[in-house]
């Protein structure tokens, strides 16, 4: 064990390769289905949305994928990111546990999202793409893609979930500063957006709706625009593996190894980014680290959702994948963790959770903000509401270790800062936030709208 508090790698330690969990997964792959025919998707179908380099990464079973030099050069603006031992939080909790966090909020956009936005913009630029469309919840993904698009001279069009658009104006301002166009979804710019507004003029929006709008714009552009996604898909999770690869080196610097690795989950990108390299060590090298995904009780896809085939978006235009889902028609409550309000989960995370290789827990909004404030007062950093879910679980682990008198090494991903989320903190501190437990009956009802044709078990 080291006496250090911060564990800093040099630029020379920046990973040269992304890690692809598909190479080491003990589980058979599940097919990705065409939303219209329910047949396996073809590269031609995917090429309407993505450049071929990303499609090949999506289906790759290679263990390591080389990071292009141009991408690594931009990564050097903020990577490697620091690993920090939360000594003051440990003291405040009176726990024998050692708590470490990987701090991704040092990126220019303030979160882990540039780890995939930068390569996605790079590969699109190489393919001749002139413009990208995307969705965003809290705005962290939209901010990252807006920044990356600016770096590679690609126009970016962002469909931001309306409730977040209203809650987080400074995220919108950041995207616009980088040069992106930002629209509150549902909009009247797309056929699907107009249909939602016709049936519900006051719709708060959802990630599923915003995805539908962004996909529609790209798919009907005649090739002028491509679609970019910030989570869920395998190539996105693969790009995020730089988090875990750096963490392995930094835990070695600390002369410790985590008993538990924790990340918040909405679509799964930051959790997979830190957890999958440790899952590789479990699968290949006999390690026994517990991997814990933390979600809000208001959008509990892993803990209350059904593991089945479902559409990736509300309009049923995106591919059908097997995942833990609350139903593609899911409209979440307006909790302040906007990046965690997706109806589904990354297929690989869903499969690993179903197989018992990953654990999951849901935590309520008030307890999450309580943990965020305790962390801020101990460590000085204001965490994003999404990241605070991981903090809640890390504190709970540390308190459990205290009760049991165990030394426990805890590592969590602090996936972004909350400097643009202070309106949420204001509401919490004023007592204006409330908990929301998504009802099981709503999940059961949504399951009646799943794809009806015969699909693989």
**What is the crossing angle of helices 385-404 and 365-379, to 10°?**
80
What dotted CATH number matches 6-14+78-110+240-449?
3.40.50.1100
The second-level CATH assignment, the architecture, of 36-66+113-234 is: 3-Layer(aba) Sandwich (3.40)
Q: What is the pTM of this model?
A: 0.95
Rounded CA-CA distance 377/373 in Å is: 6
CA torsion sign for 125, 127, 131, 133 is negative
Tokens 């805890």 identify what position? 410
Rounded CA-CA distance 46/34 in Å is: 9
**Cis omega (within 30 of 0) on the bond before 80?**
yes
Question: Using an 8 Å Cβ cutoff, are 352 and 322 in contact?
Answer: no
Question: Using an 8 Å Cβ cutoff, are 55 and 46 in contact?
Answer: yes
Output b/e per residue, 76-113; b: 16+ Cβ within 10 A: eeebbbbbbbbeebbebbebebbbbbbbbbbbbbbbbb
3-state helix, strand, coil in the chain (%, to 5): 45, 15, 40
- Give the E-state strand segments of 67-197 in sequence order: 83-85, 98-103, 131-136, 155-161, 181-185
Ordered per-residue pLDDT tens for the chain, 457 residues = 678 999 999 999 999 999 999 999 999 998 999 888 899 988 888 999 999 999 999 999 999 999 999 999 999 999 999 999 999 999 999 999 999 999 999 999 999 999 999 999 999 999 999 999 999 988 999 999 999 999 999 999 999 999 889 988 899 999 999 999 999 999 999 999 999 999 999 999 988 899 899 999 999 999 899 999 999 999 999 999 999 999 999 999 999 999 999 999 999 999 999 999 999 999 999 999 999 999 999 999 999 999 999 998 888 888 899 999 999 888 776 666 667 878 899 999 999 999 999 999 999 999 999 999 999 999 999 999 999 999 999 999 999 999 999 999 999 999 999 999 999 999 999 999 999 888 888 888 888 888 875 455 5
**What is the crossing angle of helices 114-126 and 140-151, to 10°?**
40
DSSP label at 12? G
Rounded CA-CA distance 368/340 in Å is: 13
In which residue ranges of the chain is CATH 3.40.50.1100 found? Answer: 6-14+78-110+240-449, 36-66+113-234
End-to-end Cα, the chain, rounded Å: 47
**Cis omega (within 30 of 0) on the bond before 129?**
no
Extract the tokens encoding 387.
Answer: 């990241």
**What is the crossing angle of helices 242-253 and 269-285, to 10°?**
60
């Amino acid at each position: 064990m080291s006496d250090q508090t911060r564990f800093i790698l040099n630029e020379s330690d920046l990973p040269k390769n992304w890690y692809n969990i598909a190479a080491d997964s003990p589980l058979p792959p599940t097919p990705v289905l065409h939303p219209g025919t329910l047949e396996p998707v073809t590269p031609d179908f995917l090429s309407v949305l993505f450049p071929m380099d990303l499609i090949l990464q999506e289906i790759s079973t290679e263990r390591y994928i080389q990071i292009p030099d141009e991408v690594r050069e931009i990564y050097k603006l903020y990577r490697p990111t620091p690993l920090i031992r939360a000594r003051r939080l440990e003291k405040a909790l009176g726990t024998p546990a050692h708590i470490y966090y990987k701090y991704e909020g040092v990126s220019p956009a303030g979160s882990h999202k540039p780890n995939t936005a930068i390569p996605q913009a790079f590969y699109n630029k190489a393919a001749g793409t002139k413009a990208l469309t995307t969705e965003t919840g809290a705005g962290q993904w939209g901010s990252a893609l807006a920044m990356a698009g600016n770096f590679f001279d690609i126009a970016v069009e962002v469909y931001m979930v309306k409730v977040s658009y209203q809650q987080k104006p400074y995220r919108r301002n950041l995207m616009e500063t980088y040069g992106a166009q930002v629209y509150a979804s549902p909009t009247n710019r797309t056929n699907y957006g107009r249909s939602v507004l016709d049936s519900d003029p006051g719709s708060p929006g959802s990630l599923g709706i915003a995805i539908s709008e962004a996909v529609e714009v790209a798919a009907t552009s005649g090739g002028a625009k491509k679609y970019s996604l910030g989570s869920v898909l395998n190539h996105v999770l693969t790009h995020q593996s730089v988090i875990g690869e750096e963490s392995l080196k930094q835990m070695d610097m600390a002369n410790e190894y985590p008993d538990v690795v924790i990340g918040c989950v909405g679509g799964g990108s930051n959790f997979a980014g830190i957890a999958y390299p440790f899952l590789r060590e479990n699968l290949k090298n006999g390690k026994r680290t517990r991997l814990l995904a933390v979600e809000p009780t208001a959008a509990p896809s892993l803990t209350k959702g059904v593991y089945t085939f479902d559409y990736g978006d509300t309009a049923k235009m995106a591919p059908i994948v097997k995942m833990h889902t609350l139903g593609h028609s899911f409209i979440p409550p307006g909790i302040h963790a906007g990046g965690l309000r997706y109806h589904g989960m990354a297929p690989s995370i869903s499969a690993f959770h179903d197989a018992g290789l990953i654990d999951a827990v849901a935590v309520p909004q008030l307890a999450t903000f309580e943990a965020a404030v305790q962390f801020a007062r101990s460590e000085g950093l204001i965490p994003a509401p999404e990241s605070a879910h991981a903090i809640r679980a890390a504190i709970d682990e540390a308190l459990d270790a205290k009760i049991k008198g165990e030394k426990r090494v805890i590592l969590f991903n602090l996936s972004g800062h909350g400097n643009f989320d202070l309106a949420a903190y204001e509401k919490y501190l004023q007592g204006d936030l409330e908990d929301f437990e998504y009802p099981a009956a709503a999940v059961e009802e949504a399951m009646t709208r799943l794809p009806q044709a015969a699909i693989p078990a």
